[in-house]
């Protein structure tokens, strides 16, 4: 059943969006723009109401102008200067459909087929070609659907597409507490894979141990800190965990870079594969010559935005597979910090939520949850 939405004169839908017309820090360039959507829908258009939309690091990088994919600045929303809407991921409910729409109907849930659509908004018009219908919303929350297409898809494809991983094989990853890291742990557990998970050292030993235990309960095989990874004896520890090296560490997942990743590479088995999908340390990745020559280590990059845009059918299948696990309770939600977005929510509150994602250790991913809009 569709939740109610704000109606203006003559049946127009009142909508709000977080927009920017130039690149910079979110606190400086974002503004909350109000506009109206006509009740006379184009025949091939869908009116959507946003239910949940997360704030991902890539969203911030887009606003800063340092991300490779940049949404076009347009005047379609009636802003004083051409602008773009922030956000790339979200869960939407169909409010109404144009006369030619056959694939979705009122009350269905959808996600965006491609990136750079702009999801930090209460309502939007979309073409049928822009959306992917969720087969069944039964047993799911908007939060689960709204966060499925970036982090879980990234982890899923990296573990599936680069090496033939068999039950009992190992992978090692840094950023293990991230959304991708937690997804990889859970998918690996489902597929019978073993994992070595590297986390940043916490301010005190109690906090570090608590994080280790949290990931172990999630399905991690082993958890270690960056300082433990950098220790000269860590490679021998990995050898012990992998039955003297007889069990193969086939894949490494890297979102950090710098010296810790160079240390991680040393833990890969011969002919292993390092897949880089981020660079949180903003330090270059130094590739050891010996790893290339003597261990035949392979190095690849993965960008989920490019994969999603090039493989929409595979994206749909991956999303549905993860949501199937979610319904069964075998794929758990990531920790989040929910921010309720109602019609009266102040611009400053929304901007603070976006800017706050740039902080250090956080309790979870920030997600806009849309209430009375």
Residue positions annotated with a catalytic role:
67
Residue length, the chain? Answer: 373
Interstrand relation of 91-97 and 109-112 (parallel, antiparallel or unpaired)? antiparallel
Q: What is the three-class DSSP state of 200? A: coil
Residues 6+ apart with CB under 8 A from 206: none
Q: The sheet that has 13-20: what strands, in order across it?
A: 31-37, 13-20, 84-85
User: Over the Cα atoms of the chain, what is R_g?
Assistant: 22
Total Cβ atoms within 10 A of residue 286: 12
User: Do 158 and 251 contact (CB within 8 A), yes or no?
Assistant: yes
Residues 6+ apart with CB under 8 A from 248: 169, 170, 242, 269, 272
Which structure tokens are listed for 20?
């920017």
Q: What is the three-class DSSP state of 109? A: strand
């Amino acid at each position: 059943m569709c939740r109610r939405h704000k109606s203006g004169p003559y049946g127009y839908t009142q909508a709000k969006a977080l927009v920017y017309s130039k690149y910079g820090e979110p606190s400086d360039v974002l503004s909350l723009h109000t506009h109206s959507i006509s009740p006379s829908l184009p025949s091939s258009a869908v009116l959507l109401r946003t239910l949940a939309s997360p704030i991902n690091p890539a969203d911030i990088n887009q606003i800063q102008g340092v991300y490779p994919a940049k949404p076009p600045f347009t005047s379609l929303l009636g802003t004083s200067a051409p602008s773009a809407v922030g956000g790339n991921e979200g869960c939407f409910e169909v409010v109404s459909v144009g006369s030619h729409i056959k694939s979705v109907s009122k009350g269905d849930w959808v996600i965006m087929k491609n990136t750079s659509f702009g999801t930090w908004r209460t309502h939007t018009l979309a073409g049928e070609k822009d959306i992917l219908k969720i087969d069944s919303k039964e047993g799911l929350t908007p939060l689960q659907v709204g966060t499925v297409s970036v982090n879980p898809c990234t982890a899923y494809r990296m573990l599936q597409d680069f090496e033939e991983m068999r039950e009992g094989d190992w992978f090692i990853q840094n950023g293990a507490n991230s959304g991708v890291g937690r997804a990889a742990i859970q998918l690996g557990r489902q597929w019978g894979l073993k994992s070595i998970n590297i986390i940043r050292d916490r301010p005190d030993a109690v906090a570090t141990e608590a994080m280790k235990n949290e990931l172990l309960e999630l399905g991690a095989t082993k958890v270690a800190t960056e300082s433990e990874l950098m220790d000269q004896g860590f490679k021998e520890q990995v050898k012990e965990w992998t039955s003297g090296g007889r069990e193969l560490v086939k894949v490494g997942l890297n979102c950090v870079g710098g010296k810790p990743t160079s240390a991680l590479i040393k833990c890969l088995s011969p002919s292993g594969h390092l897949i880089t999908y981020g660079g949180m340390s903003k330090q270059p990745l130094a590739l050891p010559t010996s790893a290339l020559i003597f261990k035949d280590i392979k190095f690849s990059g993965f960008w989920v935005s490019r994969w999603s845009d090039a493989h929409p059918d595979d994206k749909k299948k991956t999303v549905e597979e993860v949501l199937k696990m979610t319904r069964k309770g075998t794929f758990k939600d990531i920790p989040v910090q929910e921010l309720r977005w109602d019609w009266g929510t102040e611009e400053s509150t929304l901007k603070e939520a976006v800017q706050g994602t740039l902080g250090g250790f956080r309790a979870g991913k920030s997600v806009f949850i849309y209430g009375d809009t």
